[in-house]
Amino acid sequence: MPKKSDASQKDSGQVPIPGMRQRRGRKRRAEILRAGRNLFAQYGFRGTSLAMLAQEVGMTDAGLLYHFPTKNDLLLAVLEETDEAQETRMAGDLDTANADYIASWAEFGQVLEDDPVLTALDVLMSAEHLQTSSDFNQYFRRRYDSFRNRLVRSFEAGRAAGVFRTDFDPQTEAVLMLATLDGLRLQWLLSDGRISMANAMRYFIRHMEARIRA
């Protein structure tokens, strides 16, 4: 039997409209990212296989690899997406250096509590790749550098504007803020939420600001 022409296929509705294919592709990609986020957080990178991911979204391994050629590509995409989600929860332009950015960190503990899967993923992935030279290790290094540098710039801007005192070290304060948040994430996870990141981070920022305010 001769094949239908392209025109007759379109008339019969058998050929998807390009925009529809793109929407389906975006939806499928979002489903894969969501599955990767959950499985990586639960089983870690090494404990999550492509077969598990494909089964979770109801597709073949080949179909999964069409969207993400390697498991590494998928994890990096998951990390980038979750970082973007976190940043949109923070107040204002994150690259604006001022004292308001420092104050916005009081709510970062609440941001992390609101998304326990993301928090578990972050802690587990950073621990798994702590002593490797992998792309993920470099990713976490760059992210720490970025956050720390933003905090330093904001401390320095607040000091220059007369909001903060002059006799403190912005670099050390930035390191302490990140260390506090990291410690709270781990304690929150290990206590099954009994230790509140939200309350502790608000307390820390409130007292830190009182200590360095001009």
pLDDT score recorded for residue 17? 62
* Same domain (yes/no): 171, 127: yes
Question: Does the pLDDT at position 1 exceed 70?
Answer: no
What pLDDT, in 10s, does the model give residues 165-202?
999 999 999 999 999 999 999 999 999 999 999 999 99
Distance from the Cα of residue 120 to its chain's centroid:
11
Specify the number of domains making up the chain: 2
Domain edge (last residue) among 37, 58, 79: 79
176 belongs to a structural domain: yes
* Same domain (yes/no): 194, 95: yes
* Same domain (yes/no): 99, 70: no
* Residues of the domain holding 41: 17-79
* Same domain (yes/no): 212, 174: yes
Average pLDDT over residues 149-158: 93
Phi-psi region of 101 (alpha: psi -120 to 50; beta: other; left: phi over 0): alpha
Average pLDDT over residues 105-122: 87
3-state SS, residue 132 = coil
Q: What angle do CA 47, 52, 53 make, to 5 degrees?
A: 105
* Same domain (yes/no): 123, 74: no
User: Which residue pairs, CB below 8 angstroms and at least 24 apart, start in 200-209?
Assistant: 200/109, 201/105, 201/106, 201/107, 201/108, 201/109, 201/110, 202/106, 202/107, 202/109, 204/177, 204/180, 205/102, 205/103, 205/105, 205/106, 205/177, 206/106, 208/173, 208/176, 208/177, 209/102, 209/103
pLDDT score recorded for residue 111? 86
Question: Does the pLDDT at position 88 exceed 90?
Answer: no
* Same domain (yes/no): 68, 132: no
User: Sign of dihedral through CA atoms 187, 190, 196, 197?
Assistant: positive
153 belongs to a structural domain: yes
156 belongs to a structural domain: yes
Average pLDDT over residues 86-95: 58
2 belongs to a structural domain: no
Rounded CA-CA distance 189/112 in Å is: 11
* Same domain (yes/no): 68, 97: no
* Same domain (yes/no): 69, 122: no
Confidence of residue 2 (pLDDT cuts 50, 70, 90): very low
* Same domain (yes/no): 151, 110: yes
* Same domain (yes/no): 140, 185: yes
Rounded CA-CA distance 93/96 in Å is: 5
Q: What is the CATH number of the domain that holds 54?
A: 1.10.10.60
Question: Does the pLDDT at position 89 exceed 70?
Answer: no
Question: Does the pLDDT at position 129 exceed 80?
Answer: no
Confidence of residue 212 (pLDDT cuts 50, 70, 90): very high
Rounded CA-CA distance 191/199 in Å is: 15
Residue written as token pair 């870690």: 44
Question: Does the pLDDT at position 80 exceed 70?
Answer: yes
Instruction: Give the residue, 90 or 143, on which the prediction is more confident.
Output: 143
